[in-house]
Amino acid sequence: MKKVILVAAVVILSVILASCAPESVESLLRREWDDYLNDSLTYDVYDASDASEDGKYSAAPIGQMTLEMRYYSNSPLNTLGHGVIEGFTGNYTTFKMEADVKKDGGTVKVGIESEAVFSDGSGLKPLRSYKKVTENGVAVYEIAAVYGGKNYEYTLKNADGVKKGEIKLSGTYFDNEMIFALVRSCPLESKGTGLNFPFKVPSVLDDASKLTAMRVVSAAGNKVTYQRKSAGKGEEPLTDGDYITREDALRFAYVSAVNPTDGLEMYYLKTGDFKAGGEETYIPVRMKQNGLEYVFCNPS
């Protein structure tokens, strides 16, 4: 089941890393949206193997995913895994997905709930995170983590019981679905193929002492196809007129510094032709991860 639920999944990417020295992560993450962004994005979830060469799907979606980003100013924050944080100022993101995923010759209803709490300081710095994964309504694992100055303190709940631990960290680190928020804060169009920064991912499920180094790259001027509306789970596939194709997408990927075949591929649009439920900038319209593809489906 790891192929479905782990963030660093196998996605074949053809990426050329920039040759220039990368800027620091802190200088790239300028919080360009933190004081105004309030987005609620909806995606149809597909089995990536069903996509055609033109980016359209002949099969109905297998589920749906929502990605929400909110900025709070001295307000109560009701989190998924950390209770209520009173007087919170900063950024908060959630990732919620439910899909019927192929497994062992059948299908399993996989559910994911993930959140990230970021500080309001200079740059996007994680404070807390939480992730829960279920199969057919039964919890597979649940991780709640708190980021200290040099420590990553976590509580893991799974079939083996409850485990508490701490990982010593140095440098820049993020976990779970935080990558979606990070890209929204980067100056994508100005950096082009030069956007290239490393960070680390603490790995609780595999080995609590292991740090997975990731490196992010981007490239502009790509073709991308997304949807005018949701196809609807179990309904008829969309027709050609239900799709929108753009030639100015920013292709963004993060890959493992250790294993280049591990990563996540995303296509972003800077402006226009969609309704995001908030600011219409830097919308991720198509993302591929863990053999699944998320296709944006709440444009106007």
Q: What is the pTM of this model?
A: 0.83
DSSP-assigned beta bridge partners for residue 89: none
Question: Around Cβ 45, how many Cβ atoms within 10 Å?
Answer: 21
**Mean pLDDT confidence for 7-27:** 37
Q: Is 86 exposed, middle or buried (0-12, 13-18, 19+ CB in 10 A)?
A: exposed
d(CA 146, CA 127): 6
Give rounded-to-5 percent helix, strand, coil for the chain: 10, 55, 35
Helix (H) or strand (E) run with residue 297 in it: none
Q: 92, 126 in Cβ contact below 8 A?
A: no
CA dihedral over 295, 276, 13, 181, signed as positive or negative: negative
What's the CA gap between 225 and 54, in Å, rounded? 8
pLDDT, position 168: 87
251 or 300, higher pLDDT: 251
Closest CA to 223 of 53, 20, 14: 53
Q: Residue 269: CB partners within 8 Å, gap ≥ 6?
A: 224, 246, 248, 249, 250, 282, 283, 285
The pLDDT of residue 30 is above 90: no
What is the DSSP track for 206-218?
T-TT-EEEEEEEE
pLDDT for position 241: 85
pLDDT at 188 over 70: no
pLDDT digits (tens, 9 = 90+) for 55-71: 889 888 999 999 988 88
The C-alpha atoms of residue 101 and residue 230 are separated, in whole angstroms, by 19
Is the four-CA dihedral 57, 218, 17, 4 of positive or negative sign?
Answer: negative
Structure tokens at 221: 């001027």
Residue 211 has pLDDT above 70, yes or no: no
- Residue predicted with more confidence, 86 or 234: 86
pLDDT given at position 125: 82
The pLDDT value recorded for residue 131 is: 96
Give the type of residue at 160.
D
Comparing 244 with 17, the larger pLDDT belongs to 244
Mean pLDDT of the chain: 79
pLDDT tens digit string along 77-113? 999 999 999 999 888 999 999 999 999 899 999 999 9
Q: Assign 40 a pLDDT band (cuts: 50, 70, 90).
A: confident
Question: Number of H helices and number of E strands within the chain?
Answer: 4, 14
pLDDT over threshold 70, residue 19: no
Q: Is the pLDDT of residue 8 over 80?
A: no
217-230: b or e for each residue (b if 16 or more CB lie within 10 Å)? bbbbeeebbbbbeb
- Which residues are CB-contacts of 83 (< 8 A; sequence separation ≥ 6)? none
